[in-house]
């Protein structure tokens, strides 16, 4: 709880620091603040503290996810020192909005009441609508912002209507009480509740960009400023899936049959569309949007194989995925700078010649995303498959494994570009700090893959 | 509060559900088919408000205040959202001098 309050205050402090027109102090303040938040969250470990008439419960699940999101945000801010140094205006607002979005993410991991879930989703989304439109003069950024806003609100409307229907039947917003209410029907839910639950799930699925509710994500990822894209692909995804899992686990298990079928269809479609559409992408950000959709499919697989270890696998997967994605976006920004703002995959050509060490670590990160041992990405996928096969979902697991093999192709397309010769000779400038972040993340991915197969939850 | 609650209950619950579903569908169709961005924003509001109406009706039929409290939260969030949405529209208008939704086609695969 103190972490939640502290991030809110931190955001406001950053807004006021923006008045001093001194850009250099923003990043250190934000990072120090996040480190304090990290310690404050860890202090609640194991306490299961409840607030606001049990509307928020900070249990180990939420703390573990909060800590993972704070770590990823710190990495993004560390890079922000360099990235926002080049921006002229409104740097403080960018930091503050990301911190506010993080506050929403904290609510999304710790709700036990649908009101709090709604507020969490909105506190996360509204700053992101603004952040996506960060480049005001660029029409692509405007378009991304508006598409995100419109489809986000559209999903929220569905979500709210679903909540209203469920509330009408069960007369409560508390998930544990909804669970008791649903249990009395033994699977034969009245149509109103069924439609309500379906609408709620559609609303959350829109937010995490699971196919077939993914249309917005490639456009938004492409148009938004790259660092915001990195934030959306990692922190927002993690928060969304934590909320999704918590919703299913606290309120809806055992899943009603039509809902379960719908969720399995979403899983299959995410795996299929994400991986196949990624094959034909030439824009790096779009490639990563589809790769994010594909990874959503694997995460859904872990989530739907209901078992005690699902939460731990979910945490491991999202953390490892974020840890590999953020530095790749950082490398992309640096390479993009050297090639006059082009965003195709070909700009990676000759990276090995210019910066051999960065190229090697980029390869490690890509290999982790593709899921090849000995990296953490492999362990994450392996655990998902073990979990789903042990729960008896054999057919979809085999399909997922096949799709993971397809995924290797498009990640290695980037790897191939890195090691090809190129004729354009713009130097790529990598500051010591940025190189440090990339190398640390690369090492962390390997170390996690070899030694740590389970994160405590 | 008591009088309002009993006033709401003069109309049967089914009618509220019908009305909300109708409003929601009108909003949905508007978002999907209108070409003017301002009209789309209004239709989004209509969708939110249909949920508000439903919550209020259910809340007084269950005699449980939680639903009506939630309506206040929704109204606040919807106001914040529309403020952001309109500012995005203004930002777009500055760049392209139009509020036609068909202009949003630069990003596609």
pLDDT band for position A425 (50/70/90)? low
- Please name the residue that has the structure tokens 């408000």: B49
**Contact across the interface for A146 and B104, Cβ inside 8 Å:** yes
Q: What residues in B contact A173, CB-CB < 8 Å?
A: 66, 70
- Please name the residue that has the structure tokens 């397309």: A413
- The reported pLDDT for the residue numbered A131 is 93
**Phi, psi torsion values for A344, nearest 5 degrees:** -75, 170
Look at residue B90 and tell me if it is in a domain.
yes
Interface test with B, best of A138, A140, A168, A220 (most B CBs within 10 A): A168
- The reported pLDDT for the residue numbered A76 is 93
CA distance A123 to chain B (A): 9
Half-sphere CA count of A364, side-chain side, radius 13 A: 24
Look at residue B44 and tell me if it is in a domain.
yes
pLDDT band for position B25 (50/70/90)? very high
Q: What residues in A contact B66, CB-CB < 8 Å?
A: 115, 167, 172-173
Please report, for residues A161, A201, B70, the alpha-carbon distance to residue B15 in angstroms, rounded to integers and kept in the order given. Answer: 16, 26, 21
List, for residues B58-80, the tens digit of each pLDDT value: 999 998 889 999 999 999 999 99
- Domain hosting B26: range is 2-103
pLDDT band for position A429 (50/70/90)? confident
Retrieve residue A425's tokens. 């000779």
pLDDT band for position A405 (50/70/90)? very high
- Measured between CA atoms, the residue of chain A closest to residue B79 is A126
Mean pLDDT of A63-88: 88
Q: Which residues of A199-216 are buried (b: 16+ CB within 10 A; e: fewer)?
A: bbbbbbbbbbbbbebbeb
**Phi, psi torsion values for A50, nearest 5 degrees:** -115, 140
- The reported pLDDT for the residue numbered A251 is 85
pLDDT of A134 above 60: yes
pLDDT band for position A423 (50/70/90)? confident
Mean pLDDT of A197-215: 91
Our count of domains for chain B comes to 1
Mean residue pLDDT of chain A comes to 90
**Contact across the interface for B88 and A277, Cβ inside 8 Å:** no
Q: Which residues of A231-247 are buried (b: 16+ CB within 10 A; e: fewer)?
A: bbbbbbbbbbbbbbbbb
Look at residue B35 and tell me if it is in a domain.
yes
- The reported pLDDT for the residue numbered B101 is 78
Poorest-pLDDT segment among A146-155, A321-330, B92-101? B92-101
> Above pLDDT 90, what percent of chain A?
64
Look at residue B60 and tell me if it is in a domain.
yes
Which residue among B44, B106, B109 sits closest to A140, beta carbon to beta carbon?
Answer: B106
How many A×B Cβ pairs under 8 Å?
Answer: 118
d(CA A337, CA A359): 16
Look at residue B109 and tell me if it is in a domain.
no
- The reported pLDDT for the residue numbered A319 is 94
d(CA B109, CA B106): 10
Report the CATH number at residue B72.
Answer: 1.10.287.3510
d(CA A288, CA A281): 9
List, for residues A279-296, the tens digit of each pLDDT value: 988 899 999 999 999 999
DSSP A259-319: HHHHHHHHHHHHHHHHHHHHHT--BHHHHHHHHHHHHHHHHHHHHHS--TTHHHHHHHHHH
Q: A422, A439, A427: which is closest to A359 by C-alpha?
A: A439
Please report, for residues A41, A49, A342, the alpha-carbon distance to residue A54 in angstroms, rounded to integers and kept in the order given. Answer: 18, 9, 50
pLDDT band for position A385 (50/70/90)? very high
pLDDT of B109 above 60: no
- The reported pLDDT for the residue numbered B1 is 65
**Contact across the interface for B95 and A167, Cβ inside 8 Å:** no
List, for residues A82-102, the tens digit of each pLDDT value: 888 777 677 888 899 999 999
d(CA B83, CA B68): 23
- Measured between CA atoms, the residue of chain A closest to residue B40 is A150
Look at residue B59 and tell me if it is in a domain.
yes
Residues in Cβ contact with B14 at an 8 Å cutoff, skipping those fewer than 6 apart: none
- Judge whether B58 and B17 are in contact, CB under 8 Å: no
Look at residue B108 and tell me if it is in a domain.
no
In chain B, count of helices (H) and strands (E)?
4, 0
pLDDT of B102 above 80: no
d(CA A413, CA A249): 38
Mean pLDDT of A176-185: 91
Look at residue B63 and tell me if it is in a domain.
yes
Q: B56, B55, B45: which is closest to B81 by C-alpha?
A: B45
Mean pLDDT of A141-164: 92
């Amino acid at each position: 709880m103190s972490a939640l309050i502290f991030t809110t205050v931190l955001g406001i402090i950053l807004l006021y620091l923006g008045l001093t027109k001194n850009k250099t102090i923003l990043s250190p303040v934000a990072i120090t603040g996040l480190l304090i938040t990290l310690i404050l969250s860890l202090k609640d470990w194991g306490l299961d503290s409840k607030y606001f008439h049990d509307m928020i419960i900070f249990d180990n699940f939420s703390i573990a996810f909060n800590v993972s999101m704070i770590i990823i945000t710190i990495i993004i801010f560390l890079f922000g020192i360099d990235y926002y140094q080049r921006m002229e205006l409104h740097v403080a607002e960018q930091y503050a909005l990301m911190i506010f979005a993080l506050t929403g993410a904290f609510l999304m991991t710790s709700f036990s009441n649908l009101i709090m879930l709604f507020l969490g989703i909105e506190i996360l989304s509204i700053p992101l609508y603004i952040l996506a439109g960060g480049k005001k003069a660029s029409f692509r950024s405007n378009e991304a912002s508006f598409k995100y806003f419109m489809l986000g609100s559209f999903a929220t409307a569905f979500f709210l209507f679903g909540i209203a229907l469920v509330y009408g039947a069960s007369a409560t917003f508390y998930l544990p009480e909804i669970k008791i209410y649903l249990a009395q029907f033994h699977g034969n839910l009245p149509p109103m509740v069924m439609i309500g639950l379906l609408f709620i799930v559609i609303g959350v699925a829109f937010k995490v960009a699971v196919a077939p509710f993914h249309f917005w994500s490639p456009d938004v990822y492409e148009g938004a400023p790259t660092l915001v894209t990195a934030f959306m692909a990692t922190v927002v995804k993690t928060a969304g899936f934590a909320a999704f899992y918590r919703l299913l686990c606290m309120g809806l298990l055992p899943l009603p049959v039509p809902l379960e079928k719908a969720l399995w269809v979403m899983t299959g479609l995410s795996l299929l569309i994400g991986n196949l559409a990624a094959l034909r992408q030439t824009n790096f950000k779009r490639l990563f949007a589809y790769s994010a959709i594909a990874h959503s499919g694997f995460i859904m697989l872990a989530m739907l194989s209901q078992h005690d270890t699902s939460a731990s696998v979910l945490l491991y997967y999202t953390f490892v995925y974020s840890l590999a994605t953020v530095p790749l976006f950082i490398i992309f920004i640096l390479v993009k700078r050297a090639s006059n703002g082009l965003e195709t995959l070909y700009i990676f050509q000759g990276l090995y010649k210019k910066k051999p060490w960065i190229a090697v670590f980029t390869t490690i990160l890509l290999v982790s995303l593709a899921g090849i041992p000995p990296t953490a990405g492999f362990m994450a996928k392996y655990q998902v498959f073990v979990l789903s096969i042990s729960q008896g979902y054999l057919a979809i697991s085999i399909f997922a494994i096949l799709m993971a093999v397809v995924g290797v192709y498009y990640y290695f397309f980037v790897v191939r570009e890195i090691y090809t010769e190129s004729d354009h000779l713009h130097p790529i400038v990598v500051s010591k700090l940025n190189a440090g972040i990339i190398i640390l993340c690369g090492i962390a991915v390997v170390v996690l893959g070899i030694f740590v197969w389970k994160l405590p939850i | 509060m008591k009088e309002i609650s009993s006033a709401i209950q003069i109309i049967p619950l089914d009618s509220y559900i019908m009305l909300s579903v109708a409003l929601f569908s009108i909003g949905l169709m508007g978002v999907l088919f209108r070409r003017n961005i301002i009209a789309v924003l209004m239709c989004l509001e209509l969708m939110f408000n249909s949920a508000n109406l439903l919550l209020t009706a259910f809340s007084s039929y269950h005699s449980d205040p939680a639903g009506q409290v939630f309506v206040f939260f929704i109204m606040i969030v919807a106001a914040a959202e529309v403020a952001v949405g309109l500012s995005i529209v203004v930002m777009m208008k500055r760049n392209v001098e139009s509020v036609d939704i068909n202009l949003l086609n630069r990003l596609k695969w």
